[in-house]
C-alpha cells in the first residue's frame, strides 16, 4: 500500500464575454485575481481587486487543453494497465465545461474528451501487447434525483440497481449491464449511446446542462498468455462527470429543473462534507452513505484508487464567486490521500497447473523415500484397470480362502490360517475397500446372498441386524463392505505397511435380498447427485446485469431503445394538440421546416459533422490505397532485390558486398517506401479512430435532432394519431454515412432514398473499407513493439483492419439482422435491437420499400410489445425526456423558439 494524494487539475472554460478572471500560474500554483471588469485589457489588475492564491498540480491553459486531456487520461490508463484503480472526476459550477472535459465537444474529433481518449489509449496499448489477453468491460451509471439508472439499458428500473458494500468496505454497484467490448469503436458506441440517454435540461447558463451525475466505468483484466501464465491484473477506471452546482438565482430554474437543482446541490454539498471529513484526520465518521453519489464514489475518495480531480471553472468575471468556491473545494481535495496498491488476482487455472506440478514433485520425492525405506510396493498414482482386477481377485481369495465361514472375527477360530492382506498406503486401502464393495454388489446382482458384516466390536452379528435390510439404515461408516476393513485407530487411518486382519463375513445363508432401505439410500444418493449437478449448473449462470460477451445482442436492449421508447411514447399517447386546431403539415415537410427553423443549429452541426465524417472516410480510403500501393511496390522491389542479390553472389562469390547502381537504387527505394508505409499506417490508425468518433457524433446528433423535432412537433401541432407513421422515424441524415446506432434510419423519400440504397451492402457502406485486401507486409513491415504501431494482422490487410475497427460487426440477434436488412443499412457497433429506432417511422411513408418487410415489422412489433409490457415501470428520466416540462419550451427563460430540451 502506498499513500497517494489526490491530484487536482484546474481547467478553465474561456470567457464568453471578453471579460475574464485573471489567472496567473507559476510553480507555486494558480493565483486568481478577482476583478470586476477588465474588458479589453485582460490581465490588468484593477485597483482594490482581491488576489487569491491556490496551489494545484496543473493549471490548464485552454490553448493546450488537448494535451492535458491526453495526459490526464494517460495517467490513469497507465496505472490501470499496472493493476491500479483510477478515478477522474470533473467538478465545477454549471456550464463550466465538465461534460466538455469528460466526453468532449460535439464539433470534432480534436475536441474529444478524456473518456474517448482513455478508450483509445487502452485499445492501442492492448494491441501492442500480443503476449497479454485482455478483457475490457464497461458500465455506465447515472445518478438522477437520488436514484440509480443504467445508461446502457434504460429498461432497467432503479430498484433493480443497488449499492453493495463488503465487510472490507469495497463498494460495488449491482444490477447494471456490463458490456464486454473488443474494440475502441464498440466502446465509443456505448459511450455515445449512454450520453444520449442521459438526462439533460436547459437553463440560463447552459443550454445542455447535465441534470445528473454520470459514472463511466471501464474494468480491465489483463492476463499473460503463453507457457507460464502469471497473475491477472484487474483494474477499474471510474470516469465521473458530476452535475454542476448552480445558484438558482443565476440559472433562473423553475419547476422540474429547480427540483433537480435541489438534488444536485444537496448531493454536492454532501460530497463537500465527505471531502472535509477525509481531510480531517481526527474525524472518525465520514458521511459516505448520506448520498448515493458519495456512497458509490467511496472507494474513489480515499480508497484504493489513484484519483484526479479536475476543477472546472468558467473564466468569466461574472462567475468569480463560483470559481473561488470551486477552487476552495479543490484545495480541500488536495488534503485527501488514498492508499493504493495494484489489484493482482491469482489466475485459478494457472494455480491448478502449479499445484499439479507440485504434486508430481512430491510424489517423486515420496517414491525416493519409499525406495530408501525398502517400501517398494507403495503406489501414488491411480490404479489401472489391470491392477484393480488383480486386487479384486486377491480380495476374493482372501474372502473365500481357507477358514472362510469359520472365522468370525480377528482372533476367532481359523483366523490364523488366513493370509493377511497387507495395507501399503491409504490409496491401497481404499482400493481394497472398493474391491470389497464391487464383489459385494456382484454377489447381490447374481442373486447370491450378501455377506453379512460382523457387529462392530462383536465377534458376530445378530441375525436381526446383520441382513442387508439393516445395512441400508446403518450409518455409512458401518456399512459393508467398508466396515470389513475398517482399520483400527482413531480416524480410521492405518499406517502404511501395517497388516490388518480383515474380518471375514460369515457366509451364512441368512442374508436376504437387498432391502428397501438400501434402495432408498441409492435413490437418495442419486437425488443428491442431481441436486449437486443442478446447483453447479446454476452457479455457472450469469446474473442479470453481468452480461459477458453478448453485450449488444438482440435480446431486447440496446442502442436504439432509448429513442424508440421515447418516440413510441409519443405515438402511444395519441393525438392531443398543444396547438389544437392548427392544421398539421405532414411530418416530413415539417421536419424540413424544422431543420431550417428552430432546429437549424443542430441540423447545421449534423451537416458539419457529416462532412467531417465523409472527409475522414475519404482520407482513410486514400491512405489505404497508398498503403496497399506501397505494399505492392515493396513486394515487387523485394523480389527484384533478391534476384539481383542471387546473381551477384553467383558472379562474384558469397563475400561480395559491392552493389551495382540498380541494386543500390532499389535498396534506397525500399527504405523510402518502408518509411512512407509506416507513416501512412500510423495516420490511418488515427484517422480510423477519428472516423469512429465522428460516426458516433453524427449518430448522436441525428437522434437528438429527431427527438427535438418530435417534441417541437407535438408542442406545435399536437400529438400525431397513433397510425400516423409519417415522420418520427424518418431519417434526418439521408447520407450513406448516416443512420442511428441501430444501423441507420431509413432514407427519407424527400432525399430520393439515396442513403438507404447506398448503405445496402458493405461495398457501398464505407467507401474506404471495401478495396481488395492484401496480405500483410511481411519483411517490410515494422516489427511490433510496445507502444509501436501494430502491423496489420495476417488475416487481413490494412484495409480490412480499418474496416474492422470501424466496428461494422453484426452484434445483433436475428431481429437486428432482419431489421438491418430491411433498413438497407449496414449493422453498426452497438446495434443490438437498435434498428427499432429506424423502424418506428415505418408505419406509413417513412421508410419506403423497407416498411413492407415482414421480418422488420415482426421485429418492430415484438419490440413494441416489450416496451409496452415495461411501460408501467419506465425510468422517469426517459419518460421525462420526451415530455416538455413547465420549465421549458414556452415558460423557461432562454427557451425561446427552441424546441423543448430533454429534461
Ligand atoms: N474549453 C472549452 N472550449 C469551448 N467550449 C467549451 C469549453 N468548455 C465548455 N465549453 C462549452 O460550454 C458549454 C457548457 O459546457 P458543459 O455542458 O460541458 O458544462 P458542464 O460543466 O458540464 O455544465 P452542467 O453542469 O450544467 O452540465 C457547452 O456548450 C460547451 O461546448
Ligand 1 centroid to residue 895 C-alpha, Å:
18
Ligand 1 centroid to residue 833 C-alpha, Å:
32
**Ligand 1 neighbourhood includes 251 CB (under 6 angstroms):** no
**Ligand 1 neighbourhood includes 253 CB (under 6 angstroms):** no
Residue that wins the pLDDT comparison between 844 and 870:
870
Q: For residue 242, what pLDDT band results from cuts at 50, 70 and 90?
A: very high
Torsion angles phi and psi, residue 218, rounded to 5: -110, 125
Coil, strand or helix at 403: coil
Ligand 1 centroid to residue 13 C-alpha, Å:
7
**Ligand 1 neighbourhood includes 92 CB (under 6 angstroms):** yes
Binding residues for ATP: 92-99
The answer for residues whose C-beta is within 8 angstroms of residue 371's C-beta and 6 or more apart is none
| Measured distance CA(809)–CA(318) in Å, rounded | 49
Listed range (60-74, 183-197, 455-469, 776-790) with the worst mean pLDDT: 776-790
Closest atom of ligand 1 to CA, residue 245: 25
Q: Average model confidence (pLDDT) for the chain? A: 66
Q: Above 60 in pLDDT, residue 842?
A: no
**Ligand 1 neighbourhood includes 97 CB (under 6 angstroms):** yes
Torsion angles phi and psi, residue 90, rounded to 5: -95, 125
Closest atom of ligand 1 to CA, residue 203: 26
**Ligand 1 neighbourhood includes 313 CB (under 6 angstroms):** no
User: Within 13 A of 96's CA, how many CA atoms are on the CB side?
Assistant: 32
Query: What mean pLDDT is predicted for residues 624-640?
Result: 90
Residue that wins the pLDDT comparison between 751 and 591:
591
Closest atom of ligand 1 to CA, residue 96: 21
- Angle separating helix axes 798-805 and 600-652, nearest 10 degrees: 150
| Measured distance CA(326)–CA(427) in Å, rounded | 72
The pLDDT value recorded for residue 646 is 86
| Measured distance CA(695)–CA(689) in Å, rounded | 10
Q: For residue 724, what pLDDT band results from cuts at 50, 70 and 90?
A: very low
Binding residues: 92-99
Q: Above 70 in pLDDT, residue 730?
A: no
Ligand 1 centroid to residue 99 C-alpha, Å:
6
**Ligand 1 neighbourhood includes 212 CB (under 6 angstroms):** no
Q: For residue 30, what pLDDT band results from cuts at 50, 70 and 90?
A: low
Ligand 1 centroid to residue 96 C-alpha, Å:
5
- List the beta bridge partners of residue 220: 136, 235
> Residue 9 in contact with residue 57, Cβ under 8 Å?
yes
* pLDDT tens digits along 323-372: 888 888 888 888 888 777 888 777 777 778 778 888 888 888 888 887 77
Q: Above 90 in pLDDT, residue 179?
A: yes
**Ligand 1 neighbourhood includes 209 CB (under 6 angstroms):** yes
Return the beta strands (E) in 556-695 as ranges. Answer: none
Which residue ranges form the domains of the chain, and what is each CATH number?
70-316 (3.40.850.10), 376-454+467-529 (no CATH), 561-882 (no CATH)
The pLDDT value recorded for residue 186 is 93
| Measured distance CA(117)–CA(100) in Å, rounded | 13
**Ligand 1 neighbourhood includes 503 CB (under 6 angstroms):** no
Ligand 1 centroid to residue 338 C-alpha, Å:
29
Q: For residue 495, what pLDDT band results from cuts at 50, 70 and 90?
A: very low
Ligand 1 centroid to residue 264 C-alpha, Å:
17
- List the beta bridge partners of residue 173: 163
Listed range (318-332, 691-705, 883-897) with the worst mean pLDDT: 883-897
> Residue 762 in contact with residue 736, Cβ under 8 Å?
no
User: Could you tell me the CA-to-CA distances from 208 to 88, 204, 715 in Å, in that order?
Assistant: 22, 10, 20
Q: Above 90 in pLDDT, residue 182?
A: yes
CA angle 387, 393, 398 (to 5 degrees): 125
* pLDDT tens digits along 579-626: 445 577 777 788 888 888 888 888 999 999 999 999 999 999 999 998
Ligand 1 centroid to residue 91 C-alpha, Å:
12
**Ligand 1 neighbourhood includes 243 CB (under 6 angstroms):** yes
Residue that wins the pLDDT comparison between 282 and 228:
282
Most confident range (mean pLDDT) of 43-57, 82-96, 239-253 is 82-96
Region of 411 (left: φ > 0; alpha: ψ -120 to 50; beta: rest) is left
| Measured distance CA(426)–CA(633) in Å, rounded | 72
Spell out the SS3 assignment of 145-188.
CCEEEECCCCCCCHHHCEEEECCCCCEEEECCCCEEECCHHHHH
| Measured distance CA(889)–CA(891) in Å, rounded | 6
Closest by CA to 900, choosing from 627, 609, 652, 599, is: 599
Residue with cell 466538455: 100
C-alpha cell at 592: 424540413
**Ligand 1 neighbourhood includes 201 CB (under 6 angstroms):** no
- List the beta bridge partners of residue 200: 210
Ligand 1 centroid to residue 258 C-alpha, Å:
20
**Ligand 1 neighbourhood includes 99 CB (under 6 angstroms):** yes
**Ligand 1 neighbourhood includes 616 CB (under 6 angstroms):** no
| Measured distance CA(184)–CA(195) in Å, rounded | 16
Ligand 1 centroid to residue 218 C-alpha, Å:
24
Closest atom of ligand 1 to CA, residue 11: 1
**Ligand 1 neighbourhood includes 621 CB (under 6 angstroms):** no
**Ligand 1 neighbourhood includes 103 CB (under 6 angstroms):** no
Q: Which of 16, 95, 242 to mutate to test the pocket of ligand 1 (most atoms within 8 A of CB)?
A: 95
| Measured distance CA(286)–CA(299) in Å, rounded | 13
Q: Above 80 in pLDDT, residue 809?
A: no
Report, in angstroms and rounded to the nearest whole number, the Rg of the chain calculated over CA atoms. Answer: 37
**Ligand 1 neighbourhood includes 64 CB (under 6 angstroms):** no
Residue that wins the pLDDT comparison between 515 and 198:
198
**Ligand 1 neighbourhood includes 62 CB (under 6 angstroms):** yes
**Ligand 1 neighbourhood includes 13 CB (under 6 angstroms):** yes
Ligand 1: which residue has its CA nearest to atom 7? 13
* pLDDT tens digits along 538-583: 333 333 333 333 333 333 333 333 333 443 344 444 444 444 455 7
Q: Which of 13, 98, 108 to mutate to test the pocket of ligand 1 (most atoms within 8 A of CB)?
A: 13
**Ligand 1 neighbourhood includes 210 CB (under 6 angstroms):** yes
The pLDDT value recorded for residue 894 is 33
Q: For a pLDDT cut of 90, what percent of the chain falls above it? A: 14
| Measured distance CA(743)–CA(825) in Å, rounded | 5
| Measured distance CA(194)–CA(249) in Å, rounded | 31
Ligand 1 centroid to residue 8 C-alpha, Å:
19
Which string of DSSP letters, residue by residue, matches 511-526? --SPPHHHHHHHHHHH
Q: Above 50 in pLDDT, residue 865?
A: no
The pLDDT value recorded for residue 616 is 92
Listed range (16-30, 371-385, 510-524, 599-613) with the worst mean pLDDT: 510-524
Scored b (16 or more CB within 10 A) or e, 772-808 reads ebbebbeebbbeeeeeebbbbeeebbbbbbbbbbbbb
Closest atom of ligand 1 to CA, residue 241: 22
**Ligand 1 neighbourhood includes 302 CB (under 6 angstroms):** no
Ligand 1: which residue has its CA nearest to atom 2? 13
Ligand 1 centroid to residue 97 C-alpha, Å:
3
The answer for residues whose C-beta is within 8 angstroms of residue 620's C-beta and 6 or more apart is 684, 687, 688, 691, 768, 769, 802
Ligand 1 centroid to residue 409 C-alpha, Å:
93
Q: Which of 91, 100, 701 to mutate to test the pocket of ligand 1 (most atoms within 8 A of CB)?
A: 100
**Ligand 1 neighbourhood includes 61 CB (under 6 angstroms):** no
Q: How far does Cα 396 stand from its chain's mean position?
A: 61
Ligand 1 centroid to residue 101 C-alpha, Å:
8
Ligand 1 centroid to residue 558 C-alpha, Å:
28
User: Within 13 A of 104's CA, how many CA atoms are on the CB side?
Assistant: 25
**Ligand 1 neighbourhood includes 261 CB (under 6 angstroms):** no
Closest by CA to 18, choosing from 48, 41, 49, is: 41
Ligand 1: which residue has its CA nearest to atom 10? 97
Can you give the length of the chain in residues?
903
The answer for residues whose C-beta is within 8 angstroms of residue 775's C-beta and 6 or more apart is 794, 797
Burial of 448 (0-12, 13-18, 19+ CB in 10 A): middle
| Measured distance CA(292)–CA(270) in Å, rounded | 10
Closest by CA to 219, choosing from 301, 131, 140, is: 140
Q: Above 70 in pLDDT, residue 321?
A: yes
Q: Above 80 in pLDDT, residue 136?
A: yes
Ligand 1: which residue has its CA nearest to atom 8? 97
C-alpha cell at 627: 498503403
Going by the DSSP 8-state scheme, the letter that residue 730 receives in this structure is: S
The pLDDT value recorded for residue 576 is 44
Q: Which of 206, 213, 246 to mutate to test the pocket of ligand 1 (most atoms within 8 A of CB)?
A: 206
Query: What mean pLDDT is predicted for residues 629-643?
Result: 90
**Ligand 1 neighbourhood includes 198 CB (under 6 angstroms):** no
**Ligand 1 neighbourhood includes 95 CB (under 6 angstroms):** yes
Closest atom of ligand 1 to CA, residue 106: 31
Ligand 1 centroid to residue 805 C-alpha, Å:
29
Amino acid at each position: 500500500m502506498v499513500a497517494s494524494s489526490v491530484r487536482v487539475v484546474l481547467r478553465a472554460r474561456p470567457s464568453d464575454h471578453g471579460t475574464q478572471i485573471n489567472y496567473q500560474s507559476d510553480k507555486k500554483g494558480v493565483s486568481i485575481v478577482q476583478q470586476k471588469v477588465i474588458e479589453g485589457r485582460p490581465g490588468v489588475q484593477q485597483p482594490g481587486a482581491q488576489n487569491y492564491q491556490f496551489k494545484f498540480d496543473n493549471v490548464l491553459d485552454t490553448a493546450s487543453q488537448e494535451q492535458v486531456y491526453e495526459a490526464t487520461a494517460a495517467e490513469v490508463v497507465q496505472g490501470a494497465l499496472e493493476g491500479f484503480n483510477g478515478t477522474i472526476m470533473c467538478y465545477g459550477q454549471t456550464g463550466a465545461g465538465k461534460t466538455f472535459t469528460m466526453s468532449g465537444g460535439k464539433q470534432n474529433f480534436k475536441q474529444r474528451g478524456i473518456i474517448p481518449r482513455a478508450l483509445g489509449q487502452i485499445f492501442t496499448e492492448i494491441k501492442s501487447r500480443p503476449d497479454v489477453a485482455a478483457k475490457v468491460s464497461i458500465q455506465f451509471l447515472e445518478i438522477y434525483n437520488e436514484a440509480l439508472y443504467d445508461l446502457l439499458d434504460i429498461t432497467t428500473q432503479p430498484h433493480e440497481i443497488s449499492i453493495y458494500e463488503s465487510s472490507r468496505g469495497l463498494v460495488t454497484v449491482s444490477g447494471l449491464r456490463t458490456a464486454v467490448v473488443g474494440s475502441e469503436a464498440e466502446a465509443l458506441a456505448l459511450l455515445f449511446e449512454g450520453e444520449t440517454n442521459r438526462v439533460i435540461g436547459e437553463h440560463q447558463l447552459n443550454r445542455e446542462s447535465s441534470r445528473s451525475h454520470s459514472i463511466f466505468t471501464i474494468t480491465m483484466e489483463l492476463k499473460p498468455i503463453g507457457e507460464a501464465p502469471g497473475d491477472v491484473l484487474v483494474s477499474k477506471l471510474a470516469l465521473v462527470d458530476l452535475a454542476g452546482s448552480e445558484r438558482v438565482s443565476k440559472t433562473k430554474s423553475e419547476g422540474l429543473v429547480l427540483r433537480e437543482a435541489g438534488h444536485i446541490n444537496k448531493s454536492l454539498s454532501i460530497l463537500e462534507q465527505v471531502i472535509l471529513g477525509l481531510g480531517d484526520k481526527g474525524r472518525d465518521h465520514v458521511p459516505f452513505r448520506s448520498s448515493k453519489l458519495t456512497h458509490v464514489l467511496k472507494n474513489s475518495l480515499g480508497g484504493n484508487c489513484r484519483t484526479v480531480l479536475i476543477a472546472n471553472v468558467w473564466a468569466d468575471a461574472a462567475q468569480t464567486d463560483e470559481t473561488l468556491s470551486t477552487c476552495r473545494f479543490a484545495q480541500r481535495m488536495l488534503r485527501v490521500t488514498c492508499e493504493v496498491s495494484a489489484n493482482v488476482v491469482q489466475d485459478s487455472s494457472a494455480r491448478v497447473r502449479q499445484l499439479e506440478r507440485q504434486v508430481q514433485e512430491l510424489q517423486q520425492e515420496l517414491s525416493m523415500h519409499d525406495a530408501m525405506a525398502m517400501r517398494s510396493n507403495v503406489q501414488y498414482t491411480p490404479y489401472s484397470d489391470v491392477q484393480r482386477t488383480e486386487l479384486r481377485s486377491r480380495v476374493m481369495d482372501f474372502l473365500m480362502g481357507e477358514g472362510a465361514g469359520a472365522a468370525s472375527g480377528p482372533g476367532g477360530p481359523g483366523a490364523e490360517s488366513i493370509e493377511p492382506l497387507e495395507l501399503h498406503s491409504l490409496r491401497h486401502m481404499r482400493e481394497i475397500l472398493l474391491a470389497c464393495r464391487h464383489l459385494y454388489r456382484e454377489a447381490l446382482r447374481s442373486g447370491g446372498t450378501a455377506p453379512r458384516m460382523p457387529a462392530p466390536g462383536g465377534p458376530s452379528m445378530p441375525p436381526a441386524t446383520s441382513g442387508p435390510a439393516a445395512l441400508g439404515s446403518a450409518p455409512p461408516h458401518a456399512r459393508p463392505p467398508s466396515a470389513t476393513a475398517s482399520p483400527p485407530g482413531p480416524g480410521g487411518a492405518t499406517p502404511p505397511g501395517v497388516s490388518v486382519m480383515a474380518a471375514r463375513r460369515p457366509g451364512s445363508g441368512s442374508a436376504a435380498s437387498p432391502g428397501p432401505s438400501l434402495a432408498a439410500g441409492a435413490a437418495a444418493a442419486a437425488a443428491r447427485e442431481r441436486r449437486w449437478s443442478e446447483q453447479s449448473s446454476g452457479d455457472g449462470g450469469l446474473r442479470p446485469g453481468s452480461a459477458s460477451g453478448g453485450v449488444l445482442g438482440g435480446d431486447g436492449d440496446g442502442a436504439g431503445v432509448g429513442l424508440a421508447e421515447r418516440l413510441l411514447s409519443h405515438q402511444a399517447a395519441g393525438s392531443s394538440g398543444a396547438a389544437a386546431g392548427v392544421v398539421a403539415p405532414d411530418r416530413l415537410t415539417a421536419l424540413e421546416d424544422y431543420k431550417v427553423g428552430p432546429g437549424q443549429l443542430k441540423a447545421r452541426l449534423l451537416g458539419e459533422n457529416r462532412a467531417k465524417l465523409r472527409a475522414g472516410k475519404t482520407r482513410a480510403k486514400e491512405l489505404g490505397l497508398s498503403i496497399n500501393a506501397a505494399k505492392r511496390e515493396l513486394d515487387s522491389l523485394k523480389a527484384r532485390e533478391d534476384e539481383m542479390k542471387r546473381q551477384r553472389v553467383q558472379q562474384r562469390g558469397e563475400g561480395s558486398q559491392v552493389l551495382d547502381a540498380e541494386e543500390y537504387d532499389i535498396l534506397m527505394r525500399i527504405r523510402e517506401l518502408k518509411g512512407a508505409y509506416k507513416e501512412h499506417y500510423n495516420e490511418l490508425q488515427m484517422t480510423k479512430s477519428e472516423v469512429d468518433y465522428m460516426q458516433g457524433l453524427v449518430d448522436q446528433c441525428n437522434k437528438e435532432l429527431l427527438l427535438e423535432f418530435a417534441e417541437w412537433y407535438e408542442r406545435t401541432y399536437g400529438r400525431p394519431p397513433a397510425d400516423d407513421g409519417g415522420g418520427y422515424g424518418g431519417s434526418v441524415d439521408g447520407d450513406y454515412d448516416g443512420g442511428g446506432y441501430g444501423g441507420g434510419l431509413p432514407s427519407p423519400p424527400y432525399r430520393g432514398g439515396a442513403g438507404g440504397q447506398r448503405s445496402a451492402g458493405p461495398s457501398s457502406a464505407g467507401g474506404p473499407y471495401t478495396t481488395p485486401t492484401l496480405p500483410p507486409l511481411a519483411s517490410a513491415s515494422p516489427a511490433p513493439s510496445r507502444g509501436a504501431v501494430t502491423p496489420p494482422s495476417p488475416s487481413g490487410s490494412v484495409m480490412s483492419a480499418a474496416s474492422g475497427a470501424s466496428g461494422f460487426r453484426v452484434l445483433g440477434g436475428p431481429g437486428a439482422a432482419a431489421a438491418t436488412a430491411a433498413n438497407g443499412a449496414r449493422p453498426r457497433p452497438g446495434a443490438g435491437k437498435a434498428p427499432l429506432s429506424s423502424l418506428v417511422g415505418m408505419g406509413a411513408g417513412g421508410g419506403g420499400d423497407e416498411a413492407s418487410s415482414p421480418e422488420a415489422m415482426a421485429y418492430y412489433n415484438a419490440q413494441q410489445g416489450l416496451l409496452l409490457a415495461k411501460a408501467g415501470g419506465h425510468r422517469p428520466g426517459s419518460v421525462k425526456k420526451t415530455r416538455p416540462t413547465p420549465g421549458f419550451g414556452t415558460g423557461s427563460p432562454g427557451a425561446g423558439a427552441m424546441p423543448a430540451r430533454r429534461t
